[in-house]
Each structure stands twice: as C-alpha cells, then as structure tokens.
Amino acid sequence: MSISFWIFIVVAVLVVFYVIGIYNKLVTLKNRYQNAFAQIDVQLKRRYDLIPNLVETAKAYLKHERETLEAVVEARNQAAAALKNASANPGDAQAMGQLAGAEGSLAGALGRLNVVMEAYPDLKANQNMAQLSEELTSTENKVAFSRQAFNDSVMQYNTYKQGFPPVVFAGMFGHAADASLLEFEDREAIQQAPQVKF
C-alpha cells in the first residue's frame, strides 16, 4: 500500500467527519429555534387563558358592549387555533403568517376593549380587572422577548444553512426550506411615515 492510498483514506475520513459536523450543527440549530418557539407557545397560551377571565370580569360592567366582548373572544379563539397549527411546525412560513395575522386581530380586539373600558370608571377601578390587565401586560412583554429569541434562533439557523458548504448538504439532510420569522406587526405600515392632517 502506497502513501497516496493512506493520504486518500485520511482525507476521506476527514471529509466524512466534516459532513457529519455540518449535519449535527443543522440539527442543533433547528432544535434551538423549535425550542425558542416552544417558549412563545407557553406565553401565548398563558395570554389566551387570561383573556376569558378579563372578558368575564368586564361583562358585568359592559352590558351594552356585547359586540366588543364577542370580538375579543372570537379573536382569542382564532389566535389559539393558529398557535396550535404553528406549534405543529415552527418556522413554517404559512403557519407563522397565520399566527401573526391572528395575533394582529387579537391585538386589535383587545385595543378596542381597552378603549371601551376607558368609558367605564368603575371597571377601571375594579381590583380584579386591574390585576388581570397587569398580568396581560406582563405576558405581552414575555411574548415579545420570546419572539425575539425565536427570531434570533431562526436567523442563526438560516444563515448557517445558506452558507457554503452547508448549503450543499442541507437539502440532502432534510433542511431544504428556510425557517420563517414570526413578526406580529405590519412591517410596511410601521416603515411608512405617519400622515398628519390638520
């Protein structure tokens, strides 16, 4: 056996170990963003569990605002269904889009509820309502933090997967599609300058 044969064997072994390293890193990064989404899942479920309590507390005061309360409950149910779908496949573009849309609808419904509550001083002074509102705000902050961690993990996964040489092997290892970010805001609306009219 010649020296060139042994050099070939050593190079082949190194290439195999390098490819195994690429595979393992892809799996690690995918697991990280899936775990990050699990944190969002926990916080959104907590949020969805708080909303019925908020609505029940408000019902006694908002007898004439039934449409607003029903809109909040409906938006909450749609968001919970979208979360269930997204939890089955974190990073899927369609699931993330549906969750973002449902969260936008829920935020709008909760915003309308807050506007209505301003007209009812007794409701604003209610201790249960204040506590529920505070818990909901705290949960909103946790959702924002979890979403940022998820998006960071997705970005790291996509960046590594799209780099060379991992891009050559990613499709073969079942990592062909990029993971999608989760963005609750309408980016185009945020980027436009506000219009002021007098």
pLDDT at 95 over 90: yes
- Residue that has been written with the tokens 């309502």 in this structure: 129
Number of Cβ within 10 Å of residue 25's Cβ equals 14
Greater model confidence, 192 or 70: 70
Give the Cα-Cα-Cα angle 26, 30, 34 (nearest 5 degrees).
Answer: 170
pTM given for the model: 0.79
Single-letter code of the amino acid located at 64: H
Distance (Å, whole) CA 59 – CA 156: 45
Superfamily of structural domain 19-182: LemA-like domain (1.20.1440.20)
Nearest to 33 by CA among 179, 176, 162, 154: 154
Nearest to 83 by CA among 47, 124, 119: 47
Inform me whether the pLDDT recorded for 191 exceeds 60: no
Contacting residues for 57 by C-beta, under 8 A, at least 6 apart: 126, 128, 129, 132
For residue range 19-62, list pLDDT tens digits in order.
999 999 999 999 999 999 999 999 999 999 999 988 888 887 77
**CB-side neighbour CA atoms (13 Å) of 60:** 10
Question: Which residue in this structure is represented by tokens 């990592």?
Answer: 175
Over residues 63-82, mean pLDDT: 90
Give the angle subtended at the CA of 187 by the CAs of 159 and 105, to the nearest 5°: 115
Spans of all domains in the chain: 19-182
